[in-house]
């Protein structure tokens, strides 16, 4: 899967010209994009961004992961993440600041999280629940030509998780319910963009 994504990205890049500045008399009004980093985690995602005026845009991102892997390992979820963006120069060009919300549902089982996060808790139990929160982000967009661009963004903020905890077996017994708060990265993106108009 990773090799296929890399192949597609390299083919797109090979067909593009050197970065061209946007013409001053035409500011794009609508773009669609996909976050390459999410695809690396098998998460299907798509985003649409609409210009509101010369310095403001509204980005609506959605992601979905329906997959279960070997040994019943999964991080199934869906999430939406709207973000209002204020551009330093003008819409769809250069630096921007964003304020975003997020919400969705998850079903996680047998996860080995990096850096020892959660210890063995995520390996031994299954969690189902909802997630929600908000954050602020900073990003930059590189316009390659009239239609193609790339964007990077990092957002920080809050995630709340309300969950039910189960034994790992299929349809395992419920062990209880809980709530967790998380402060840290809420949006990490390297997106390939196609400007429609």
- pLDDT tens for 87-124 read 999 999 999 999 999 999 999 888 776 555 555 666 77
Nearest to 191 by CA among 142, 150, 137: 150
DSSP reduced 3-state for 180: strand
Check whether 47 has a pLDDT greater than 90. yes
Check whether 173 has a pLDDT greater than 80. yes
Check whether 131 has a pLDDT greater than 70. yes
Task: Look at 193 and 69; give whichever has higher pLDDT.
Answer: 193
CATH number of the domain located at residue range(s) 2-18+27-195 in this protein: 2.40.160
Check whether 143 has a pLDDT greater than 80. yes
Report the pLDDT averaged over residues 37-61.
Answer: 96
Report the pLDDT averaged over residues 38-63.
Answer: 96
Check whether 15 has a pLDDT greater than 70. no
- How sure is the predictor about 19, in pLDDT bands with cuts at 50, 70 and 90? very low
Task: Kindly state the DSSP code that residue 71 receives in the 8-state scheme.
Answer: G
Task: Look at 51 and 168; give whichever has higher pLDDT.
Answer: 51
In this prediction, residue 28 carries a pLDDT of: 84
In this prediction, residue 8 carries a pLDDT of: 52
Task: Look at 36 and 75; give whichever has higher pLDDT.
Answer: 36
Report the pLDDT averaged over residues 13-17.
Answer: 47
196 Rama class: left (phi>0) / alpha (psi -120 to 50) / beta: alpha
The pLDDT mean for the chain works out to: 85
């Amino acid at each position: 899967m990773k090799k296929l994504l890399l192949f597609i990205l390299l083919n797109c890049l090979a067909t593009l010209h050197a970065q061209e500045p946007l013409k001053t008399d035409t500011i794009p009004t609508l773009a669609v994009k996909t976050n390459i980093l999410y695809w690396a985690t098998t998460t299907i995602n798509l985003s649409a961004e609409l210009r509101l005026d010369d310095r403001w845009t509204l980005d609506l991102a959605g992601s979905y992961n329906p997959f279960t892997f070997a040994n019943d390992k999964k991080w199934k979820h869906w999430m939406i993440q709207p973000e209002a963006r204020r551009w330093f120069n003008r819409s769809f060009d250069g630096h921007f600041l964003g304020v975003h919300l997020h919400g969705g549902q998850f079903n996680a089982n047998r996860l080995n999280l990096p850096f020892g996060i959660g210890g063995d808790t995520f390996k031994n139990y299954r969690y189902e629940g909802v997630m929600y929160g908000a954050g602020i982000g900073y990003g930059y967009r590189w316009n390659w030509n009239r239609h193609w661009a790339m964007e990077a963004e990092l957002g920080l903020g809050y995630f709340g998780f309300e969950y039910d905890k189960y034994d790992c077996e299929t349809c395992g017994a419920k062990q209880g319910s809980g709530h967790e708060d998380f402060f840290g990265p809420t949006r990490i993106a390297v997106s390939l963009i196609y400007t429609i108009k």
